[in-house]
Amino acid sequence: MKPVIFLGLAVLLLGACTTGKHTSKTSASLIQSSKDSTEYEVVILDQEFEHWYLTQYTPAKDHLNDYYRTKNLLAIANWNDYYLTGKYSRLIELYINYHPDTDYGIEVNRRLYWYFTWFSEKYRIRLFGVPSSAASGTL
């Protein structure tokens, strides 16, 4: 049995605080499993995301893998910027090590894109645009 290799994006733990006393934890991981070929899988352990994803995603809203890769590169760049600057540190707890030259496949890229979309909507954090700190010239 070949070992399962965790990438830098292997464990993406997000501590998510909502208003009031309720605290929820979100975690996602990108797992590389070695078989005859390399396969990647995104595992998101948040029932709220799973429910939202099932109600939001339809094949009619689907895009090509390049679209998802492009959007994910932008979201990950902003995510990592927030992580490195400590902004949203209660929500963004880990750096994402996503390699643009690695082909993660459409399923992984699609799931990451929808996770970032959900995260952006839920916490009103801009991941797909220019961060407010960059727009104001404070980077």
DSSP state of 88: T
Which tokens go with 81?
């910027």
- Structure confidence by residue, pLDDT tens digits, 125-135: 999 987 655 55
- Structure confidence by residue, pLDDT tens digits, 15-24: 322 333 333 3
Neighbours of 41 (CB within 10 A): 15
- Structure confidence by residue, pLDDT tens digits, 73-109: 999 999 999 999 999 999 998 899 899 999 999 999 9
Sequence spans of domains, the chain: 4-129
| Dihedral sign, Cα of residue 86, residue 129, residue 51, residue 108 | negative
Taken as a whole, the chain contains a residue count of: 139
Neighbours of 37 (CB within 10 A): 6
**Helix, coil or strand: residue 136:** coil
Which residue shows structure tokens 């399962």? 4
What does pTM read for this prediction? 0.69
Q: Using CA atoms, how far apart are residues 85 and 77, in angstroms rounded to an integer?
A: 12
* Alpha-carbon distances of 108 from 40, 50, 85, 131, rounded to whole Å: 7, 15, 27, 24
Average pLDDT value for the chain = 76
Which residue shows structure tokens 């459409």? 106
Radius of gyration (Cα) for the chain, nearest Å? 15
Supply the pLDDT for residue 26: 46
